[in-house]
Amino acid sequence: MLLKSEIRSSIYVKIYKMTSTPKSKIKINMMSSADKIAGQGVGSAYKELLRLLKTYNGETIDFTVNQYFGKSDITHYHTVDFLFYLQSFFSRKSIGRRIGYVHFLPETLDGSIILPLPLFWIFKSYVKAFYRRMDQLVVVNPDFKQKLVSIGIPEEKVTYIPNFVAKEQFYEISVDEKSEIRKKYNIPENRFLVVGTGQIQYRKGIDDFVELARRNPDITFLWAGGFSFGRITGNYRHYKELVDNHPENCIFTGIVDRNEIRSLNNIADLFLLPSYDELFPMSILEAASCGAPVMLRDLDLYHDILAGKYIPCQDIEEMDAQLKALQKDATSLEHYREMSKDVANTYSEAALTKIWEEFYEEQTKL
């Protein structure tokens, strides 16, 4: 028996193919090592795009993965590997137009990973050089255009295309399934549950997440994610200590697969991401697609892409006050649950497939 999500996906594919005009295929070579490190949003975004192109654009786009030699119309770089950088010097006749996917900025690295200072400076300079090598860059948040301009990238070379998630991967599950998942984690049905997902590092606001657990012993806090970069994670000892000695009402699952992330988002009474710095987290879209109300530290970058669709908090004091209020306010939670559904529809695969196809077509003409 087909799941509702699979039926919806099948309908989307049929409608899209019926309304599309057959064209000669564009040859795209995807260069990425994003799936080699578990538990990071870059890998999720990369997999989603590959699946989208294969499902919706199979008749208009032909793509290969990590092909160093061969002819293509476009080479799309998803990560900043040094071998990829060297390949970007191959002739235009061979690799076609060079597209860079900007999943992070050099400044995002501050505090996230620890390297000897000279190496860190070299790596940040290298990232800037990599982005400058590209013919076109794609950002997932419009606010980052100007930040790229500030490091010498012409504004016309930067295109905004948001992230998205697949309905067949992230969707609301049944009440019975939710009950089973809560039993698995020993979380009572009537217990208010706050879920966060992502790597364990300073910029994700992990310290505030744990402090909120200490302040609210009547709420369960669950963080799904771990140390994707191991011991070179910024302030690793501190966060390892935090994870090993957390409050009783705080659960750290470690790195889990995307199916488990879907399950955890579904049992959340509230999704909380207290990050200090982001681009456009896949974790927000994944939670929204599962119908979880979303609370965020109110970063400027969310104002355009998620305006009015989340619970904004300036600091831990506001988060604490909102949590205490929301436990007793089912009406507000239901309102933001509906707002999450709006977010999921806005950044759905159906909405993004045409944008990507038109983007690639335009690039082949330049």
Q: What is the mean pLDDT of each run of 10 residues along the chain (366 residues)?
A: 50 51 81 74 82 81 92 95 96 96 77 69 91 95 87 94 89 96 96 95 94 98 87 84 94 94 98 91 94 96 92 98 96 97 90 90 93
Q: How far apart are CA 5 and CA 38, in angstroms?
A: 25
3-state secondary structure of 97: strand
Cα distance between residue 262 and residue 256, in whole Å: 10
In angstroms, the CA 251 to CA 266 distance is 16
Question: What stretch(es) of the chain map to CATH 3.40.50.2000?
Answer: 21-164+348-364, 175-346
DSSP secondary structure of 275-327: -SS-SS-HHHHHHHHTT--EEEE--TTHHHHSTTSSEEESSHHHHHHHHHHHT
pLDDT of residue 23: 60
The type of residue at 357 is E
Q: What pLDDT score was predicted for residue 2?
A: 46
Determine the topology of domain 21-164+348-364 in CATH: Rossmann fold (3.40.50)
Pick the CATH number of 175-346 from 3.40.50.2000, 3.30.110.60, 3.30.70.20, 3.30.540.10: 3.40.50.2000
| Cα-to-chain-centroid distance, residue 15 | 27
Considering Cα of 182, then 184, then 185, then 188, what sign does the dihedral take? positive
Evaluate whether 222 touches 251 at the Cβ level (below 8 Å): yes
The answer to whether 202 touches 238, Cβ cutoff 8 Å, is no
